[in-house]
């Protein structure tokens, strides 16, 4: 799942590498979106600053009603 890959496993040594990683991730997300994938996979701590809580499905994915 591309959304999980956004969490990042490795280090990027230069700007070009970072841009290449972003491009790859965005293309993957676009492919998933076009395929109808809508997984709930936020990055750790993302809920703290997110302003879309009324639309969020994170708690449903975790098995908590909210």
In the predicted model, is pLDDT for residue 3 greater than 50?
Answer: no
What is the pLDDT at residue 44?
79
What is the pLDDT at residue 1?
43
Q: How far is CA 18 from CA 25, 26, 27, 33, 48, in A?
A: 11, 12, 14, 22, 25
Q: How many residues does the chain have?
A: 66
d(C-alpha 26, C-alpha 11), whole Å: 18
Tens of pLDDT, residues 5-57: 455 555 667 788 888 888 998 999 899 999 998 777 777 788 888 888 788 87
More confident residue, 4 or 49: 49
19 close to 25: Cβ distance less than 8 angstroms = no
């Amino acid at each position: 799942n591309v959304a999980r890959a956004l969490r990042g496993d490795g280090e990027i040594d230069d700007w070009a590498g970072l841009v290449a990683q972003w491009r790859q991730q965005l293309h993957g997300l676009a492919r998933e979106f076009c395929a109808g994938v809508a997984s709930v996979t936020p990055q750790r701590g993302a809920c703290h600053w997110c302003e879309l809580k009324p639309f969020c499905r994170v708690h449903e994915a975790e098995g908590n009603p909210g």
